[in-house]
Structure 1
Amino acid sequence: MTTLPPDPDPVPTTPPTASQRVIAAFERLTEAGRPDLWTTLRAVEDVLVDAKAVDERVTAGETLPLAGTVIAVEDRIDVAKQPSAHGVAETSAPVVARLTSAGAVVLGKTGSGPLASAWDRTKVGGDGAAVAVALGVVDLALSTGGAVPAALNAVAAVTPTPGLLPADKVSVYAKGLVAAHLALTAATGGARTWPADVRLGAGEHPRIAYAADLPLGEAAALALKTVVARLIAAGAILTPVSVAEPGFDGFDALVVPTVPDHPGIAEALGDPAGVRHRLAACTAFANLLDVAAVTVPVLPGDRRPFGVTFLTRAFEDQIALDLATVCTDEPMTPYPEPGEDLVVFGAHLRGQPLNAELTGLGARFTGPVRTIEAYRMVLLPTEPPQPGVLPGGGGLDGERWRLSPAAFERFAATLKEPFVLDRVELDDGTAPLAVRCLTADGPGLDRYESWRGYVRFASTAGLRGPG
């Protein structure tokens, strides 16, 4: 029998340079054959000059979170040296400047429509920014069009709390929430700042109202029903409400179908005001409120324009993003609001008796953690039972939570001896603050690497002795 040598390890793929991404964007632009999307399309030579500058910055060692990201900008938003409503703009709008400073490259400016959809040329698609993203010509787009154009082309849209970006009511369009979130992180910093007590999470069972009295077509009604079912399966508590009196009293978020139906492009061209009013019927009230909004297709890869929009109170953008990932199955990292990370090991873990002390403060679960091989647990005589985490021993499993500054202070004030807030070293190289003990007496739990492991043992064996 002939024994073949093992396959060599795969060679890491080098990510494309900004210049390569720009060339690919122009190729996709040609393939798409949609000149109607653009009010101004920059010359390829000019865009490549910007891309080369990004590549040189990366080579020089700069960390650019949007390096080579190709973007489109709606024609109402200024781009340096491009035509604008008041002539040729001398400088870019601050929101554009922040994206280009982070490595993005502007391909051109898009029109506001009505234009044909990316996926069905007989249907209306809203503005050119959303269509350009859907067709893959650009990675991201900035638009003042809000949720509707994104829904008509089955792309994601994030409209932050007004004032968090250096422009009001600007939406970021992207194929997915992760890309939109990355752009928001780079662009955030406007006239408003987060309050110190902002809620960063809604817990494992968020309370969500959903619009139940809107006149919807069959497909839009099915989409809303599908999303409601997915949210319930994920642990959310859903309540039907009337949108005649929208509000968040008693709720963490409101979810609505983004558009009621999908008009034809001929109808939209014949009656643009009427079609625009009809399409905005589901989300128009949001323009009257101080809210954050996240729009997503119903399911990943679904091209039907019948997604939903999650609305939350101002500054609770993180909650809207997290809820929307139930539809997209994307990971979501923290939005750049101020906050403190906290690691817990015992009764504050999810599903444990004191977890409500965190969720009641609007804390957001950000993931499991493990310490380096330097910590151990002892069983404390508390009610409910809790472990004391001390130096020495092996590695322990815990959870990382994020709280607003004011919530963190309130939580710290509730800790009683022997508990303190002290840093722990994690196996990812970070050293966040954690609930632990500097000294404590109690039976050792050295056999266990997690509090949940001990709790499972105690619940089945009925033992609470040294481990």
Structure 2
Amino acid sequence: MRPEVRERVLQAYKRIAEVDRPEVWITLRDEDEVLAEAVTIDEALAAGAELPLAGVLVAVKDNIDVAGLPTTAACPEFAYTPAASAAAVERLTSRGALVLGKTNLDQFATGLVGTRSPYGAVRCVWDPTLIAGGSSSGSAAAVALGIVDIGIGTDTAGSGRVPAAFHGLVGIKSTLGIVPTSGVVPACADYDCVTVLAQDLDSATAAMKVMSGPAVTDPRSRSWPSEVRLAAAPQPRLAVPRAEDLASLSPAYRRAFADTVAGLADKGFTHVEVDIAALLDAATLLYDGAIVAQRYSAVGPFLDSAPAGADPTVAAIVGAAAEPSAHRYVDDLDALARAKTAARELLCDTDGLLLPTTTEHPTIAAVQSDPIGINRRLGTFTNFCNLLDMAAVAVPGAATADGAPFGVMFVVPAFEDQVAIDLAARLIGTSSPALIDDGIEVLAVGAHLRGFPVHRQLIDRGARFSGEVTTSADYRLVDLHTTPPKPGLVRRSGGGAPIAGELYRMSAAALGTFLAELPAPMGLGPVELSDGRWVTGFCCAHDAAERGTDITEYGGWRAYQGLPPSAATRTARNPSTVPMT
């Protein structure tokens, strides 16, 4: 066994004993059993298996199935033992992740506080008098305590983002359906979402990347669309709420958010204030409207049997969800459709919406005194996301709330998940990991390079910069003498030189529109890179190349443009016999 994997497992169980937080776990696996799995993973690696998550330790919220472990949804009488893991969990473990156990939650994922459980209230890691936040409280605490690398939760109303904010974690709530929910006990089936919590953006994104993709077992699962954006703009523009939209914030949270917004320019953002009243109104439909009927559909009949372990607050919420009429439900769906349109219009000229994740950090005692009112406030900025089919990434803000963790989130339209990750990375000052592997690699060698006139065409299509590269030594570069200036790349086997360029990844639909708009004499075709890969790159018509000036000796368009104009008058070799790329 690789010593670091074995040591990580041993340290995790040592840490569990040290912190003495039994309320975090509902089912904790035997240490020897997990170590035995680590041996199997090590053997697979030795045999050449590709396991990108080998040795990553995971805590799974106990409304998500793990084969062989009870699923309770924090209600003992509801418990069952699944033969198969949820699709999301199976994808993690099949790539080498190790599940330590099942974590505590607000019963049936109904709550944002982490106190609605017969297994105990989950306490905040850094102050046990405060709530951990829910409903994914146990998973968040397991990560924040340094026991596991990844916490898997669910987020219907903010249940993954709120506990992330309270503990200074990263929480990724993907577009609905991107991660299948088969094997997840439903709360509101149309609005449930599997979420990831981690200490850093790289780890969270790596787990989300593995879990993403449609599954035949989940009729609501979705694929990335052909036009998916693969990057945020290099100088992103954010929407931020007006002061009156932030009335529910505690004074400390209000100051922390103001400080975060004040520092946006230093991070390379511009921003504009927008009216988010329509979004906040839509948020109320999750509990105050007929949409809540989905909660009764999920577990109402079971709770009607009055199980001894039912949480009174949860039972009351779910029981009341049986009352709305069908016509009220239809009316609310219409209201949501209108709110979705309003949200699209609101964000149409921005990269995303920056919001405080939640409003305050209450004590356990305060929540016990006012379980409904405080819970309602905590979801002020999170409740609308799934209702309006939006994605969000929660990260620590650029300021604290009087020294305590304070969280913000970037909210984006459906399928803009990568954009939200890029925005979050910029705010916290780290490189942005890639979530989406879909797309086509495109080589730019001229006017589409960064800093040149038509680079904007790549930005507008959400192309993702992959790095600086060079072609193989079989190419020549020709100045085409066009307006704006641009070169053509021509292939000459054994008679060329490496040409410098930049590699981008674009969605298939974006590449199609890009090709359709290319002016003569430009085109796209296969180009060989110095490492032997073939990618799509710019080419030009033979007659245009014949009229051009050979500039191969400069090694690239950027170097050539940096020379005095007189350097461009050299006579080119005639490339007419060169096959075009």
> Which SS does the other structure have where 1:457 is aligned?
coil
Q: Does residue 267 of the first structure (1) align with residue 371 of the second (2)?
A: no
Aligned residue type for 2:19 = A
2:344 — aligned with what? 248
Residue 162 of structure 1, CA deviation: 0.7
> Which SS does the other structure have where 2:125 is aligned?
coil
For 1:214, which of 246, 271, 279 is the aligned residue?
246
Find the aligned partners of 1:266 and 1:399 in 2 and give their Cα distance: 57
Q: Does residue 151 of the first structure (1) align with residue 175 of the second (2)?
A: no
Q: 1:347 to 1:226 in 2, by over 3 A?
A: farther
Residue 117 of structure 1, CA deviation: 1.4
2:148 — aligned with what? 138
Query: What is the aligned-residue identity percentage?
Result: 41
Q: 1:328 to 1:386 in 2, by over 3 A?
A: same
Q: 1:300 to 1:343 in 2, by over 3 A?
A: farther
For 2:88, which of 57, 72, 95 is the aligned residue?
95
Q: 1:330 to 1:427 in 2, by over 3 A?
A: farther
* Residue ranges of structure 2 left out of the alignment (5+ in a row): 73-78, 106-113, 116-121, 182-191, 215-220, 280-342, 572-581
Residue 388 of structure 1, CA deviation: 1.6
TM-score (norm 2): 0.73
Whether the 8 Å contact between 1:333 and 1:366 is mirrored in structure 2 is no
Find the aligned partners of 1:74 and 1:185 in 2 and give their Cα distance: 19
Aligned residue type for 1:192 = R
For 2:196, which of 149, 160, 172 is the aligned residue?
172
For 1:163, which of 177, 180, 185 is the aligned residue?
177
Residue 150 of structure 1, CA deviation: 0.6
> Which SS does the other structure have where 1:89 is aligned?
coil
Superposed CA offset, 1:217-249 (max 9, x none)? 344334333443454344433111122123132
Whether the 8 Å contact between 1:94 and 1:166 is mirrored in structure 2 is yes
Which of these two proteins has the greater Rg computed from alpha carbons? 2
> Which SS does the other structure have where 1:83 is aligned?
coil
Whether the 8 Å contact between 2:399 and 2:406 is mirrored in structure 1 is no
Find the aligned partners of 1:20 and 1:269 in 2 and give their Cα distance: 40
Find the aligned partners of 1:15 and 1:372 in 2 and give their Cα distance: 39
Superposed CA offset, 1:196-233 (max 9, x none)? 22222342233321123213334433433344345434
> Which SS does the other structure have where 1:197 is aligned?
coil
For 1:198, which of 228, 233, 243 is the aligned residue?
228
Whether the 8 Å contact between 2:448 and 2:454 is mirrored in structure 1 is yes
Residue 462 of structure 1, CA deviation: 7.1
Find the aligned partners of 1:435 and 1:228 in 2 and give their Cα distance: 41
1:225 — aligned with what? 258
> Which SS does the other structure have where 2:222 is aligned?
coil
The structure that is strand-richer by fraction is: 1
Residue 377 of structure 1, CA deviation: 2.1
Aligned residue type for 1:255 = L
Q: Does residue 454 of the first structure (1) align with residue 560 of the second (2)?
A: yes
For 2:393, which of 289, 294, 302 is the aligned residue?
294
1:121 — aligned with what? 128
> Which SS does the other structure have where 1:323 is aligned?
helix
Q: Does residue 65 of the first structure (1) align with residue 72 of the second (2)?
A: no
> Aligned ranges for residues 17-416 of structure 1 at < 5 Å?
17-85=4-72, 86-112=79-105, 113-114=114-115, 115-126=122-133, 127-144=137-154, 145-167=159-181, 168-190=192-214, 191-212=221-242, 213-215=245-247, 216-246=249-279, 247-249=343-345, 250=348, 251-299=350-398, 304-336=404-436, 338-391=438-491, 392-416=495-519
1:431 — aligned with what? 534
Residue 299 of structure 1, CA deviation: 4.9
Aligned residue type for 2:144 = A
Find the aligned partners of 1:179 and 1:304 in 2 and give their Cα distance: 23
Bigger shift: residues 158-167 or 111-120: 111-120
Find the aligned partners of 2:399 and 2:46 in 1 and give their Cα distance: 35
The structure that is helix-richer by fraction is: 2
Give aligned pairs, total: 452
* Residue ranges of structure 1 left out of the alignment (5+ in a row): 1-13
Find the aligned partners of 1:450 and 1:71 in 2 and give their Cα distance: 47
Moved over 4 A (4+): 14-17, 299-303
TM-score (norm 1): 0.89
Whether the 8 Å contact between 1:116 and 1:123 is mirrored in structure 2 is yes
Bigger shift: residues 119-128 or 70-79: 119-128
Q: 1:346 to 1:229 in 2, by over 3 A?
A: farther
2:76 — aligned with what? none
Find the aligned partners of 2:30 and 2:246 in 1 and give their Cα distance: 45
Aligned residue type for 2:163 = P
Residue 265 of structure 1, CA deviation: 2.8
Find the aligned partners of 1:203 and 1:66 in 2 and give their Cα distance: 30
Aligned residue type for 1:132 = A
Q: 1:16 to 1:354 in 2, by over 3 A?
A: farther
Superposed CA offset, 1:231-279 (max 9, x none)? 4344433111122123132233111011222222322343333322222
